[in-house]
Amino acid sequence: MFKYGLKLSLVVLALLLVIAGAAVAQDAGQLEVFSWWTSGGEAAALDALFQVYSERVPGVEIINATVAGGGGSAARPVLQTRLAGGTPPDTWQVHPGWELLGQYVAAEYVSPITDLYASEGWNEVMPQGLIDTMTQDGEIYAVLAGVHRGNGFWYNKTLLDANGITIGETMSVEEFVAAADTLKAAGIPALCVGDSGIWATAQLFENTLLGTVGPENWMKLFAGEMAWDDDLVKQAMAAYSTMLDYQNEDHSSLSWDQAVAALMDGKCAFNSMGDWAYGEFVKAGLVDNEDFGWVSHPGTAGSFVIVADGFVLANGAPHPENTLEWLKAVGSIEAQEAFNPLKGSIPARTDVDREKFGPYHNWSMDSFANDSLVASAVHGSAAPALFQQALNDAVTVFVVDRDVDAFAAALVQGAADAGMVAN
Amino acid sequence: MAAQTFEAAPSRRRFSLGHTLTVGVLVLALLFYLMPVYVMVINGLKDATNVSLDTMWNLPQSLTGGGFVEAWNKLSPNMLNSLEMVIPATILSAIIGAINGFVLSKWKFRGSDVLFTIMLFGFFIPYQSILLPLVQFMQTIKLYGTIPGLILVHVIYGVPVTTLIFRNFYANVPNELIEAARVDGAGMGTIFTRIMLPLSIPAFVVVGIFQFTNIWNDFLFGVTVVPNPAAQPVTIALNNLSGSFSVDWNVVMAGAVVAALPTALIYILLSRYFIRGLLAGSVKG
Amino acid sequence: MSNSAAAAAGQSVALSAGHAQHRWKGLTPFLVLLPSLIALVIFVYGFICVTLFISLSNWNTLKPDNTLRIPFGQTYVDLFSTPRFQADLRNTLVFTVLFILIATLVGLGLAILIDFNRKLFVIPFFRNVYLFPYALSFVVTGVAWRWIFNPETGINLFFDMFGINQLLASLGQAPLKPGWTTDPTVAFQLNGILEQVLGTEMRVKLGIPVALIPVAIAGMWQLSGFVMAMYLGGMTTISDEIREAARIDGATEWQVYRRVIIPLLRPVTISVVIILLHVSLKIFDLVITMSGVGPAFATDMPAIYVFETTFKATRYNLGMAAAIVMLILAAFVIVPYLARSLRQSEE
């Protein structure tokens, strides 16, 4: 009887061990690229980068490790657990600014690539203000594939024309309110918001905040030199609250792209969104400056909110040589010209052929060259993830209760928790 | 005889009103249960430009296959991964559960019930709470990022519930059967393989369906344990149909239907046995 | 009982085998269980210990930090003073009660109606359709439900289509147009009473968030078929003789169900509630795809909080503390159930 028992025990043990049998060997001719570009234009743009790389370095097998979910929400746990466990991918997608420096550089998960900037001549063709967001103690840690402008304010031109509203080169909050009241009289909510993922309305607040306090105070706020309950900030919160009065009722059940779709259908007029929204208009076959138009978010003309995507070299990358070649490819002129029209962003290089881009992106390139560059908090560049979460949470509550003092207090608390204090 | 005539007359009378009413309720329920499926199929069949919230109830304007073609192309490689993972994981967890269930019901020893309770607790833990150490452990034993690693995880977290179902199932098998076999000189191993296993088909159906569905639909373990998309199960590929900023809703809806096909097929084929087996398994409180 | 049976049967074999093997006898079944036990001790209890340790550590950036946080347990103090987490605890409680109630009642209702009409030829088809949602993943169905509960274009259109709103208009009433998951209302608020009792102001509204109702309906849709299947399984064990006896005593069909069958199904109900509990306490996929955190966290859940705090905000200690609280919540429900079944099997 004991014999049988032992046998059964061995069967169970063997079954568990059989599963634990195989381990995958690493191949030298590989490159693992981790990103959250999985669908549509994003995936096509990533493929364009892969093509440029494969032409430069033939024979390397690219492992395209993508995990989707709004802004990388499902991707981050995977990346973080891999980094913490010491099995990083060769390179991964990052936002410059805090996410890169405060998160990955501080934890020593990435290696500097300063030499590449010299050898590839990137120092001359990329704006210094942009390189600064990737620099710590004189070392540069990432190369950008493209730059989105976060403070766009898109509108349905046909609808506004029908209601006798014309939009100039810029727009102030007052002008928005005047237009919104006209639309309200016609029974149309002025603002399209789709905040089922809360970041869309957090971005609306972020843009309104920038419009009220201006780029210099913006820098101060995130450097801890200006308090989050400053009167100017509260003024911005009140302006945000005013804008929310004009939003569509079903905002919290729409995703951001469904809000843009509502705009195109003429159910509402304006949408505050980064220029990835441009791709939605193009997909629907609408014509620039005829069916739809854009200005900077009210009050933010003269500022360019950077939502950029770059790649890094992992500290302890399994294939460092291939990765360096990859980063060179990403920063190359042919990659930047191939990637950005598909992604809907503008190149980080300023020496590209502007003929390859449409009217919106030429407008955005002008803004990029001339305006104050500021980092986005909602997209992880301006402030620690901890503050980003606190901001999202505070906005979630504010949209319902509109309590400016509580909103300000929550941000003060978040900034303190995140250690955002003046040096 | 008396009972039969008694039943026949009133039951026909009841059929006319009671049955009509209740079937009416069942039909209404049917519409409710089909509503989300209708939304997914109808919108999956539309073109990318025609799919929108406003027209969510409308039928597609043309029959071009809509998002189904793209969804199928993108999901089919991962469906194979899922099958490679789900089938061994389901079978292994069922076999281990059967062995454990047998020991815990017919071969008890002092403290075996306590051990069972300790094991069963694993069924109820929220998996977020063990995600981080799990990944670290998988990296330590070099199974991280592999399908065998994912199978191991699913088998281990499946064992508590498979053990529960088999234990309850075997508890209903009369002890006399075992005693008789032992008197004939059979050992416990023989009793298990020759007597218990052939009796266990209904329990295997229940466990099989239960585990197949759970493992097929799992997202959390798949996404964290296997980072290579070429090796990932279909739920992750399904999630990847929507990008970080841009979403083609027709492909997402179609993909949802495509990814559900294998489990749906199993249900349609086995639902009768499932219900029969359920009573044998987890019914016992 | 089976122990004594084993001992009785074992005697005949063990007579010649001697003492050494006799001592092994108790050990053999234990050895069979051992591999599973070891695996579960590592994968469940070991990992829980690691999680517990992280929750007590200073790890709140991306870089692991294994030093113990001073003062001890401060992270838990932080956690419970977070209004969002307070809202999450409220939501778990409300959702669990709501979801289990409607899923069990609907499942039982369907089982009775199907059992009542079981001779009808279309019944197997009906049964399959009701069971079908259980085969789908929450990730899949959440999106469809989000569309269906969109207040502008979802099922609210039916109120116009079926003339309900026209009827209301003719009565001078406002049209029926619920906000579903977009509705921030918290009904039956207890804040007034609680604040008087406790003497402090509370940030979180304690009551029933209306936005949870559509989420509970979606959850019910998914699991009520499974509940139905379990009840149908239970009903097949009730012999026709019992039903017949009740009928002879003059009971109507309804009375047969209410007086005889439903009481006999009590053990099934216990299993149903336990299985539904294990779904509702862990619920994550459905909520995140259907409504997200909801207006003012009306549909936020602890599992979402754990996920966002750990992986988005990289506050590992806080996220793991929330995970431990989830675990304790589960234990509150599960341990009494396990203890009960343990006592029963010993009797």
List, for residues C52-111, the tens digit of each pLDDT value. Answer: 999 999 998 888 888 999 899 999 999 999 999 999 999 999 999 999 999 999 999 999
Same domain (yes/no): A180, A111: no
Same domain (yes/no): A166, A257: yes
Domain count, chain A: 2
Is C309 part of the contact surface with chain A (CB cutoff 8 Å)? Answer: yes
Among A249, A301, A286, which Cα is nearest to A157's? A286
Q: Does residue C239 lie within any of the structural domains? A: yes
Q: Is the pLDDT of residue A161 over 50?
A: yes
> What would the mean pLDDT of C113-122 be, rounded to a whole number?
89
Q: Which residues on adjacent β-strands are paired with residue B122?
A: none
The predicted model scores a pTM of 0.86
Q: Do B256 and C323 touch (CB under 8 A)?
A: no
CA distance C93 to chain A (A): 20
Q: Is the pLDDT of residue B284 over 70?
A: no
Same domain (yes/no): A248, A361: no
What residues make up the domain containing C327? 56-346
Q: List CB contacts of C33: < 8 A, sequence separation 6 or more.
A: B100, B103, B104, B112, B115
Q: Is the pLDDT of residue A336 over 90?
A: yes
Q: Does residue C35 lie within any of the structural domains? A: no
Same domain (yes/no): A293, A326: no
Rounded distance between C-alpha atoms, residue A206 and residue A306, angstroms: 12
Is A68 part of the contact surface with chain B (CB cutoff 8 Å)? Answer: yes
B118-130, pLDDT tens digit by residue?
Answer: 898 888 888 877 8
- Write the residue in B143, B228, B236 that is nearest to A23 by C-beta: B143
CA distance B9 to chain C (A): 13
Could you tell me the maximum CA-CA distance found in chain A, to the nearest angstrom?
93
pLDDT tier, B1 (very low <50, low <70, confident <90, very high otherwise): very low
Is A284 part of the contact surface with chain B (CB cutoff 8 Å)? Answer: yes
pLDDT tier, B52 (very low <50, low <70, confident <90, very high otherwise): confident
Q: Testing the interface with B: which of A36, A67, A90, A309 to mutate, by most B Cβ within 10 A? A: A67
Same domain (yes/no): A169, A268: yes
Peptide bond into B233 cis (omega under 30): no
Q: Is the pLDDT of residue A345 over 90?
A: yes
pLDDT tier, C15 (very low <50, low <70, confident <90, very high otherwise): very low
Q: Does residue C48 lie within any of the structural domains? A: no
Q: Does residue A2 lie within any of the structural domains? A: no
Same domain (yes/no): A134, A168: no
The DSSP call for residue B15 is I
Q: Do A85 and B136 touch (CB under 8 A)?
A: yes
- State the CATH number of the domain containing residue A335: 3.40.190.10
Dihedral over Cα of C131, C134, C136, C139: its sign:
positive
User: Which residue pairs, CB below 8 angstroms and at least 24 apart, start in A224-228?
Assistant: A224/A415, A224/A420, A224/A421, A224/A422, A224/A423, A225/A422, A227/A412, A228/A408, A228/A411, A228/A412, A228/A414, A228/A415
Q: Is the pLDDT of residue A16 over 60?
A: no
Chain B hits for A21, CB-CB cut-off 8 Å, are: 148
Q: Is the pLDDT of residue C13 over 50?
A: no
Is B1 part of the contact surface with chain A (CB cutoff 8 Å)? Answer: no
Is B109 part of the contact surface with chain C (CB cutoff 8 Å)? Answer: yes
Q: Is the pLDDT of residue C5 over 70?
A: no
Q: How many CB atoms lie within 10 A of CB A122?
A: 20
3-class SS at C155?
coil
Of the two residues A22 and A123, the one the predictor is more confident about is A123
Cα C138 versus chain centre, distance: 13
Instruction: Name residue, tokens 């096509």.
Output: A44
Mean pLDDT score across all residues of chain A: 89
Residues of chain C with pLDDT > 70: what percent?
Answer: 90
- Identify which of B250-254, C55-59, C143-147 has the greatest average pLDDT: C55-59
- Write the residue in B7, B113, B264 that is nearest to C345 by C-beta: B113
A132-144, pLDDT tens digit by residue?
Answer: 999 999 999 999 9
Do residues A294 and A153 make contact, with C-beta atoms less than 8 angstroms apart?
yes
A307-321, pLDDT tens digit by residue?
Answer: 999 999 999 999 999
pLDDT tier, A5 (very low <50, low <70, confident <90, very high otherwise): low
For residue C207, what pLDDT is reported? 87
Q: Does residue C1 lie within any of the structural domains? A: no
Q: What does the DSSP assignment read for C60-75?
A: -SSS---SBPSSTTHH
Q: Testing the interface with B: which of A16, A18, A81 to mutate, by most B Cβ within 10 A? A: A81
For residue B231, what pLDDT is reported? 80
Chain C hits for B121, CB-CB cut-off 8 Å, are: 44, 331, 334-335, 338
- State the CATH number of the domain containing residue C210: 1.10.3720.10
For residue C346, what pLDDT is reported? 61
> What would the mean pLDDT of B159-178 be, rounded to a whole number?
87
Rounded distance between C-alpha atoms, residue A126 and residue B158, angstroms: 53
Dihedral over Cα of B188, B190, B192, B194: its sign:
negative
B92-138, pLDDT tens digit by residue?
Answer: 999 999 999 999 988 888 888 888 888 988 888 888 778 888 888 88
Same domain (yes/no): A144, A156: no
pLDDT tier, B9 (very low <50, low <70, confident <90, very high otherwise): very low
Cα A396 versus chain centre, distance: 19
Instruction: Name residue, tokens 């138009």.
Output: A293
Sequence-ordered alpha helix ranges (H) in C186-292: 191-198, 212-236, 240-248, 253-255, 262-264, 266-282, 285-290
Do residues B218 and B35 make contact, with C-beta atoms less than 8 angstroms apart?
no
Token digits of residue A384: 């620690």
Is C21 part of the contact surface with chain A (CB cutoff 8 Å)? Answer: yes
Among C87, C45, C98, C61, which Cα is nearest to C322's? C87
Q: What are phi and psi of A187, to 5 degrees?
A: 80, 25
Q: Do B136 and A69 touch (CB under 8 A)?
A: no
Q: Does residue A107 lie within any of the structural domains? A: yes
Rounded distance between C-alpha atoms, residue A175 and residue A185, angstroms: 16
Taking 3-state DSSP, the helix, strand and coil percentages for chain C, each rounded to the nearest 5, stand at 75, 0, 25
Among B224, B216, B230, B194, which Cα is nearest to B260's? B216
Of the two residues A113 and C188, the one the predictor is more confident about is A113
Is A194 part of the contact surface with chain B (CB cutoff 8 Å)? Answer: no
Rounded distance between C-alpha atoms, residue A305 and residue A172, angstroms: 17
Q: Measured between alpha carbons, how far apart are the two ends of chain B, in Å?
A: 37
Q: Do B266 and C135 touch (CB under 8 A)?
A: yes
C287-301, pLDDT tens digit by residue?
Answer: 988 888 888 899 999
Q: Is the pLDDT of residue C132 over 50?
A: yes
For residue B4, what pLDDT is reported? 39
Name the A residues in 249-268 with CB < 8 Å from any C CB.
249-254
Phi-psi region of A245 (alpha: psi -120 to 50; beta: other; left: phi over 0): alpha
C194-249, pLDDT tens digit by residue?
Answer: 777 776 767 788 889 999 999 999 999 999 999 998 899 888 878 888 888 888 88
CA distances from C125 to A15, B28, B252, C118 (A): 39, 14, 27, 11
Q: For the purposes of burial, counting CB atoms within 10 Å of the CB of B285, is it exposed (0-12), middle (13-18) or buried (19 or more)?
A: middle
A388-410, pLDDT tens digit by residue?
Answer: 999 999 999 999 999 999 999 99
Name the B residues in 105-134 with CB < 8 Å from any A CB.
131-132
pLDDT tier, B238 (very low <50, low <70, confident <90, very high otherwise): confident
Q: Do C61 and A252 touch (CB under 8 A)?
A: no
pLDDT tier, A25 (very low <50, low <70, confident <90, very high otherwise): very low
Domain count, chain C: 1
Do residues A183 and A176 make contact, with C-beta atoms less than 8 angstroms apart?
no
For residues C190-205, one letter each, b for 16 or more C-beta atoms within 10 angstroms of the residue's C-beta and e for the rest, the string is eeeeeeeeeeeeeebb
A262-274, pLDDT tens digit by residue?
Answer: 999 999 999 999 9
CA distance C85 to chain A (A): 11
For residue A334, what pLDDT is reported? 94
Instruction: Name residue, tokens 């799990």.
Output: B134
Lowest mean pLDDT, pick from B230-244, C121-135, C249-263: B230-244
The residue of chain C with its CA nearest to that of A69 is C289
Residue C327: enclosing H or E segment and its boundaries? Answer: helix C316-346
Q: Does residue C42 lie within any of the structural domains? A: no
Token digits of residue A343: 């992604």
For residue C347, what pLDDT is reported? 57
Q: Does residue C188 lie within any of the structural domains? A: yes
Q: Is the pLDDT of residue A2 over 60?
A: no
Is A47 part of the contact surface with chain B (CB cutoff 8 Å)? Answer: no
Q: Do B155 and A19 touch (CB under 8 A)?
A: yes
Q: What are phi and psi of C228, to 5 degrees?
A: -55, -45
Among B120, A8, B193, which Cα is nearest to C34's? A8
- Residue B130's identity, in one-letter code, is I
Q: Is the pLDDT of residue B268 over 90?
A: no
What residues make up the domain containing A275? 152-299+383-417
3-class SS at A136?
strand
Do residues C130 and C110 make contact, with C-beta atoms less than 8 angstroms apart?
yes
Is A253 part of the contact surface with chain B (CB cutoff 8 Å)? Answer: no
Q: Does residue C100 lie within any of the structural domains? A: yes
Is B24 part of the contact surface with chain C (CB cutoff 8 Å)? Answer: no
Is C347 part of the contact surface with chain B (CB cutoff 8 Å)? Answer: no
Q: Does residue C314 lie within any of the structural domains? A: yes
> What would the mean pLDDT of A329-357 be, rounded to a whole number?
93
> What would the mean pLDDT of A210-219 be, rounded to a whole number?
96
Of the two residues A112 and C186, the one the predictor is more confident about is A112
Rounded distance between C-alpha atoms, residue B114 and residue A61, angstroms: 52
Chain B hits for A81, CB-CB cut-off 8 Å, are: 131-132, 135-136, 224
Same domain (yes/no): A184, A284: yes
For residue C183, what pLDDT is reported? 85
Q: Are strands A292-296 and A270-273 parallel, antiparallel or unpaired?
A: unpaired
Among C45, C288, C284, which Cα is nearest to B218's? C284
Instruction: Name residue, tokens 């508590």.
Output: B160
Same domain (yes/no): A226, A331: no
> What would the mean pLDDT of A224-231 be, rounded to a whole number?
95
Q: List CB contacts of C261: < 8 A, sequence separation 6 or more.
A: C112, C115, C235, C238, C243
Q: Cα-Cα-Cα-Cα dihedral of C46, C52, C53, C59, to 10°?
A: 130
For residue A13, what pLDDT is reported? 61
Same domain (yes/no): A289, A311: no
Q: Are strands A372-375 and A303-314 parallel, antiparallel or unpaired?
A: parallel
The residue of chain B with its CA nearest to that of A36 is B244
Is C51 part of the contact surface with chain B (CB cutoff 8 Å)? Answer: yes
Chain C hits for B94, CB-CB cut-off 8 Å, are: none
Same domain (yes/no): A289, A327: no
- Identify which of A221-225, B188-192, B257-261, C271-275 has the greatest average pLDDT: A221-225
Q: Do A389 and C308 touch (CB under 8 A)?
A: yes
Q: Which residues on adjacent β-strands are paired with residue A33?
A: A64, A91
Q: Is the pLDDT of residue A3 over 80?
A: no
CA distance C44 to chain B (A): 6
Q: Do C182 and A250 touch (CB under 8 A)?
A: yes
Same domain (yes/no): A255, A326: no
Mean pLDDT score across all residues of chain C: 84
Is A64 part of the contact surface with chain B (CB cutoff 8 Å)? Answer: yes
Q: Testing the interface with A: which of C50, C78, C311 to mutate, by most A Cβ within 10 A? A: C311
Q: Which residues on adjacent β-strands are paired with residue A296?
A: A152
Of the two residues B241 and A296, the one the predictor is more confident about is A296
B207-217, pLDDT tens digit by residue?
Answer: 998 899 889 98
Q: Do B241 and A68 touch (CB under 8 A)?
A: yes
Q: What does the DSSP assignment read for A341-364?
A: HHHT-B-S-S-S-GGGS-HHHHHH
For residue B201, what pLDDT is reported? 86
Residues of chain C with pLDDT > 90: what percent?
Answer: 34
Is B16 part of the contact surface with chain C (CB cutoff 8 Å)? Answer: no
- Residue C129's identity, in one-letter code, is V
User: Which residue pairs, CB below 8 angstroms and at least 24 apart, start in B2-7?
Assistant: B3/C244, B3/C248, B6/C247, B6/C248, B7/C244, B7/C247
Among A64, A70, A68, A79, which Cα is nearest to A31's? A64
Among B176, B103, B99, which Cα is nearest to C28's? B103
Is A9 part of the contact surface with chain C (CB cutoff 8 Å)? Answer: yes
Rounded distance between C-alpha atoms, residue A21 and residue B148, angstroms: 7
Do residues B262 and B208 make contact, with C-beta atoms less than 8 angstroms apart?
no
Q: Is the pLDDT of residue B33 over 90?
A: yes
Q: Does residue A15 lie within any of the structural domains? A: no
For residue B188, what pLDDT is reported? 83
For residue C21, what pLDDT is reported? 43
